[in-house]
A = this chain, B = another copy of it.
Amino acid sequence: MIPPSVNYVTCAMLKIRRIPIDTLGENVVYLSDLCQVYRVDAFKGGNKVEVGASGRQVIAVINVVHGNHLLEPDEVGLCTDAFEELGLSEGTQVVLNPTLSPASMDYVRNKVYGQTLTRAQLLEIVTDIAGHRYSRMEITAFLMACAAFMTTEEVLDLTLAMAEVGSRLDWKQEIVVDKHCIGGLPGNRTSMIVVPIVAAHGLPIPKTSSRAITSPAGTADTMEVLANVDVPIDRMIDMVAEIKGCLAWGGHVNLSPADDILISVERPLAIDTPEQMVASILSKKIAAGSTHMVIDMPVGPTAKVRSHHQAVKLRKLFEFVGHEVGLNLDVVITDGTQPIGNGIGPVLEARDVMAVLRGEDSAPADLRDRALLLAGHVLEFDTSLHGGEGFNRARELLESGAALRTMERIMDYQGPPPEAYALGELCHAVTAPASGVVTAIDCYRIARIARAAGAPVFKGAGLDLHRKVGDPVERDEPLYTLYSVIESDAANALAMVEADNAYAIQAI
C-alpha cells in the first residue's frame, strides 16, 4: 500500500538573458511557457522569485513569455534593471526559487491592522525596501498603512531608519548649512542665489539637488544650463573646502535610497502626507551631513501646503523630528500664491537667476526678494553675526557682486555644461481673452503646461510669464509665451492652454 521512495534531481538551471525592457522601477524576470524545468503556473499566485547563482541574487516578479520568440525555453530573461542589479553575464546558469514576502511585511500587516511600529521594525522594513525586496504593491501597503496614522515617534524612527540605510557624508566642519524648499512653486529657483550668497559669506553650504520628477525644472536641471552638475563626492569636498559651496546633482551620493523608492510609488498614487514629507526631507539632510537648515514652505491655494493651519502643523512636525535628530531647523512659511520669477523651465529659470546675481534691471524682484529672505535666515545660523543682521548681510553680498563672483567660481570649478542649451524655437504667445487685472495664477496648472511644453526633458522648453498677480492687462496682450523644442510638445501645451490657461482675470 505504501510505495517505496525514489530519488529526484534537486537543482534545475536556466541561462540568463538580458531583455532590453525598462520596466520603470519593478524588477521583472521573463520565463517561457515552454520552460521544461519550472512550471510557470507555480508563479501565478503572484509571488516573487529569487533568481541567482554563486551568492548573487535578485528578487523579481514573473512575466510569462509565450512561444520562443523572445526567449528560449532554457533561458530566464531579466529586465534591464534586474540584469544590472544581478551583475552576472548573459548565459550564466542560475536557479529560480519562489520567494515569499520579506519577514518585515508582517510588521506592515500589523500596522495595517492598527499597531504602531518600533524603531527596529521600521529599520527592517526600510532596509528591505532599499534592498529591492518589496514589490510596488507591498510598498504601497506600507505607505497606506503609514498614511492612515503615524505617531510622531514613528515619524522620527522612520526618518532615522531612512537616513541609516544608504551613504552618509561627513564634511568635517562644525556647521554645514542647507536650504530646502518643500516644492510646488514653479520658478522658485532661490537655491542658485542663496548658495553663492551664503558661500560668499563663508558658511559651508554643499548643496546637492535632484532633477525634476513631476515639476518643469529641478535645481539640478537648471544649474546644468550654466555648468556641469555631475560632480564626484571627493570633488564636492574639495569645493566646499575652497569655495564653501557647490550646486551639484545628488544622484551620485545614494543618500536615503529607500526614500527614492518610496517616492517612486507615492508619485503615481498622488498620496502626499506630512509625515512622509518630513521623513523624506530630513532623512536625506541627515545623510547629507547637514547641521543647520532653512526650510522654505510656500503656502497658497494651488501650492503643496494650502492653508496656514496646515503649514503650522507641518512646521511643528519638522521641528519635533529635527530637534530629536539634532538638526537645527528654521522653517520659513512663505507666500505660495503664484509662481516666482518669470521663467518656468531650465533655460528660462537660469536666465532669471543670473539676472538677479548680476543685478540687471530685468531681474524679477520677487525671485530676488525671496532669495534674500531665505539667505538671510541661513546667515543667521552664523553665531558671529549680530542677531537680525542676516538679511542685510545677504543683500550686501548680492549687491556688492560677491555672490556673483562666488557663483562664477562654482561654475568654473564644476566645469562647463554638457552642451550649450538654447531656448526652444517653437514659441507661442498666450494672450488675455479680455482686459482686466490678473487676480490669480494657478501654480499647479502652470507647472503642468510647462511640462507639456517639454520642460525639463528639453531644457529650452517652458514658459515665460509677462504678467503676475495684480498686473493690469489689455485684451490680446500676452500673458506668457510658451517655448517648445518639438512640435508634439507644443501642440500638447497649446491644447492644455486652450482648456485652461491658469490665469484668472477680473474686469476693472
Chain B nearest CB from A457 CB (Å) reads: 5
Whether A65 pairs with B20 at a CB distance below 8 angstroms is yes
Whether B8 pairs with A488 at a CB distance below 8 angstroms is yes
Copies of this chain assembled into the complex: 2
Whether A8 pairs with B494 at a CB distance below 8 angstroms is yes
**Quick check: is A120 within 8 A (CB to CB) of the other chain?**
no
Chain B nearest CB from A135 CB (Å) reads: 7
Whether B45 pairs with A268 at a CB distance below 8 angstroms is yes
Q: Which bracket fits the contact residues of A? A: 35 or more
Known contacts: A136-B136, A269-B137, A488-B38. The answer to whether A112 contacts B23 by CB under 8 A is: no
Assembled-state Cα–Cα distance A203/B4 (Å)? 47
Write the chain B residue with the least CB distance to A495. B10
Assembled-state Cα–Cα distance A312/B180 (Å)? 53
Assembled-state Cα–Cα distance A108/B412 (Å)? 50
Give the interface segment out of A143-151, A169-177, A221-229, A251-259: A143-151
Known contacts: A20-B67, A45-B213, A428-B6. The answer to whether A12 contacts B140 by CB under 8 A is: no
Whether A488 pairs with B429 at a CB distance below 8 angstroms is no
Assembled-state Cα–Cα distance A63/B24 (Å)? 6
**Quick check: is A104 within 8 A (CB to CB) of the other chain?**
no
Whether A270 pairs with B428 at a CB distance below 8 angstroms is no
**Quick check: is A265 within 8 A (CB to CB) of the other chain?**
yes
Whether A24 pairs with B46 at a CB distance below 8 angstroms is yes
Q: Which of B5, B24, B30, B43 contacts A21 (CB 8 A)?
A: B30
Assembled-state Cα–Cα distance A490/B264 (Å)? 41
For A141, list chain B residues within 8 Å (CB): 140, 143-144, 269, 271
Whether B8 pairs with A25 at a CB distance below 8 angstroms is no
Assembled-state Cα–Cα distance A465/B63 (Å)? 35
**Quick check: is A475 within 8 A (CB to CB) of the other chain?**
no
Whether A24 pairs with B112 at a CB distance below 8 angstroms is no
Chain B nearest CB from A116 CB (Å) reads: 13
Q: Which of B2, B62, B137 contacts A137 (CB 8 A)?
A: B137
**Quick check: is A235 within 8 A (CB to CB) of the other chain?**
no
Write the chain B residue with the least CB distance to A41. B457
For A319, list chain B residues within 8 Å (CB): none
Assembled-state Cα–Cα distance A64/B26 (Å)? 12
Which residues A477-508 have CB closer than 8 A to chain B?
478, 481, 486-491, 494-495
| A 7-48 binary contact with B (CB < 8 Å = 1; else 0) | 011101000000011111100001001000111011111111
Q: Which of B21, B265, B271, B494 contacts A112 (CB 8 A)?
A: B271
Whether A70 pairs with B488 at a CB distance below 8 angstroms is no
Q: Which of B3, B148, B429 contacts A114 (CB 8 A)?
A: B148
Residues of A within 8 A of B (CB): 2-6, 8-10, 12, 20-25, 30, 33, 37-39, 41-48, 61-67, 69-70, 79-80, 101, 105, 109, 112-114, 135-138, 140-141, 143-145, 147-149, 213-214, 264-265, 267-271, 426-429, 454, 457, 466, 478, 481, 486-491, 494-495
